[in-house]
Amino acid sequence: MMPDPNFDVSVNLTRESSPDQSAADVVIVGLPQQDSLPTSLNEFDQIGNGWLTRLQESGQIGGKRGDLTLLGVPSNEGPKMLLVAGLGDAVHHRSDAFEITAAAIRSLLDRPRGCVEVRVAEQFPAEHHDAIVAGAMTACEGQALYRSEPSLKLPTQIAFPGVSQDQLDRGRTIGQSINQARRMVNEPPAVLYPASFADAVTELFEGSETEVEVWDEGRLAEEGCRAILAVGAGSARPPRLVMMRHNGGGDEPPIALVGKGVTFDSGGLSLKPSEAMMDMKCDMAGAATVVGVMHALAKIGVKRNVIGFCGLAENMVSGTSYKLGDVIKTRSGKTIEILNTDAEGRVVLADTLDVAKGFQPQSIVDLATLTGACMVALGRDVVGAMTNDPKVLSGIESSASIEGELMWQLPMFRHYDEQVKSKVADIKNIGDGRWGGAITAAKFLENFVDGQPWVHLDIAGPAFAEQPKAHRDAGATGVMVRTLLRWIEEQA
Ligand SMILES: [Zn+2]
């Protein structure tokens, strides 16, 4: 079975209800947290002689953030149902537009529906309309890829009257790009492994301006990528390195995005217990995020030079697995002592970062589901950020804050360097004990960027959700696609 590289959630987005449809099945209208009914609901209120006013006054519909009330419209014509979505009292943020719309659409996917019309609340400025469309798109993608009966019943059409064509197209692209990353993560490891990941990327960008290059195991050996090969050595599925070049910025040095793509992480000989292995198809979320961002850059035609790198390997157990005590000479020439084969992501990234460095990028951003320690420090919903260049990080932080994606910086004090020194090689792939594990992992990576401006984003927590949220299914989240797209677009 191969992953479908050009999948798209089969929902039709338009600016208006199609002319052959007399009315929408459901109209979604926002209700702010205030005493009187907003003008947007007056039209509906009059259909039933003030029925909505009565419902509001008696507290049957509410404007609290998260409130969703589905009502039958008391009329033989016009829309059949009205979904009143509480907006709360402060909704000028892009992520409110994204999440409130997504939650409203998601609540309607329990049964087949025709046209769903989203009446964009006046509280959302026009420049956030793309977030509304993107939110609707992501609501329509879930993790149940292999149910005989689809668990999300997609409406035949979602209409966004009042949204400009530009904002609709942009929102669709952002939604698709987030869903692209999520779909790759949600695919089972028997479907998505290094070679099929690389094939999917090649097909995804066919016909676009983005140039894709794939290094197979032979090329990786020629290039001296012994670290990537070591991690993949125990698997019947050989490793790959994928490069995607987006050339929109003339002569400027490129931005490098580097993703960890361990398509399944058993832990290797340092085997994970079953419980900890259950979600390890998501250990390629960094690489999938890079693909999602590159997809958005290509579709939007962003005028920047960006190269995406995915280091892909499957970490398995066999007679050819790499071992504890092994010393690997990485592509950069630095030697790594392996003291835990489950700390494999940083080993894959060592070579991948070195390849990226060769393109003289203006900055390098890596994304990796790297450490459980980062989740211990920050919880499941927050990205850990570490850097050697506070200026680059502050740009990314400001984009993250605009997009409402949570990120927090962890320190990179020099004294941590001692903890990755090895007795037999240049460095070892674990710290001294478990303390500060997210940081010692970053310290390891820092050895392979050679002082170039670099930000490391540990997405181990937020990349994959155990529980659904009102606005999103459980499983892959596509975290950081929006933030990085914004950051790249805002690079002067
Ligand atoms: Zn691991």
The pTM (predicted TM-score) of the whole model is 0.96
186 and 158 belong to one structural domain: no
Give the separation between CA 317 and CA 321, rounded to whole angstroms: 6
Ligand 1 centroid from CA 5, angstroms: 26
- Position 20 scores a pLDDT of 52
Residue 9 · residue 132 · CB < 8 Å:
no
395 and 367 belong to one structural domain: yes
Give the separation between CA 53 and CA 324, rounded to whole angstroms: 70
Ligand 1 centroid from CA 346, angstroms: 9
Residue 228 · residue 194 · CB < 8 Å:
no
Q: Which two tokens stand for residue 26?
A: 């459901």
Q: Which two tokens stand for residue 465?
A: 């959700």
Ligand 1 centroid from CA 11, angstroms: 36
Catalytic residue, chosen from 170, 226, 346, 472, is: 346
- CATH code assigned at 103: 3.40.220.10
Ligand 1 centroid from CA 267, angstroms: 5
Catalytic residue, chosen from 80, 245, 272, 303, is: 272
- CATH code assigned at 420: 3.40.630.10
472 and 340 belong to one structural domain: yes
b/e map 38-58, b = 16+ CB within 10 Å: bebbeebbebbeeebbebbee
* 346 a catalytic residue: yes
Residue 112 lies in a domain: yes
Q: Which two tokens stand for residue 330?
A: 């990485």
Residue 172 lies in a domain: no
Question: Which residue range(s) make up the domain with 321?
Answer: 179-490
- Position 18 scores a pLDDT of 52
Indicate the number of domains in the chain: 2
- Position 492 scores a pLDDT of 64
Ligand 1 centroid from CA 453, angstroms: 26
- Position 246 scores a pLDDT of 98
pLDDT tens-digit profile of 86-134?
A: 999 876 789 999 999 999 999 999 999 999 999 988 889 999 999 999 9
Of 163, 192, 210, which closes a domain?
Answer: 163
Ligand 1 centroid from CA 369, angstroms: 9
Q: Which two tokens stand for residue 42?
A: 């007056």
Angle between helices 390-403 and 94-106 (to 10 degrees): 50
186 and 74 belong to one structural domain: no
31 and 107 belong to one structural domain: yes
Strand 211-215 relative to strand 68-72, pairing: unpaired
Strand 305-315 relative to strand 240-247, pairing: antiparallel
Ligand 1 centroid from CA 265, angstroms: 5
200 and 333 belong to one structural domain: yes
Ligand 1 centroid from CA 315, angstroms: 8
Of 137, 163, 189, which closes a domain?
Answer: 163
111 and 217 belong to one structural domain: no
Low-confidence residues in the chain, pLDDT < 70 = 1-10, 17-22, 91, 492
Give the separation between CA 478 and CA 169, rounded to whole angstroms: 19
Ligand 1 centroid from CA 371, angstroms: 8
Ligand 1 centroid from CA 66, angstroms: 37
- Position 91 scores a pLDDT of 67
CA nearest neighbour of 476 among 138, 200, 199, 193: 138
191 and 138 belong to one structural domain: no
153 and 184 belong to one structural domain: no
Give the separation between CA 332 and CA 447, rounded to whole angstroms: 10
- Position 17 scores a pLDDT of 61
Site of tokens 């329990």: 110
Q: Is 259 helix (H, G, I), strand (E, B) or coil?
A: strand
Ligand 1 centroid from CA 193, angstroms: 16
Residue 313 lies in a domain: yes
* 443 a catalytic residue: no
Residue 86 lies in a domain: yes
Give the DSSP H or E segment for 256: strand 255-265
133 and 187 belong to one structural domain: no
Residue 345 lies in a domain: yes
Ligand 1 centroid from CA 268, angstroms: 8
Ligand 1 centroid from CA 25, angstroms: 47
Site of tokens 């303390």: 435
Ligand 1 centroid from CA 233, angstroms: 14
Residue 355 lies in a domain: yes
Percent helix / strand / coil, the chain, rounded to 5: 35, 20, 45
Residue 472 lies in a domain: yes
111 and 254 belong to one structural domain: no
281 and 159 belong to one structural domain: no
Of 138, 163, 188, which closes a domain?
Answer: 163
Give the separation between CA 201 and CA 249, rounded to whole angstroms: 22
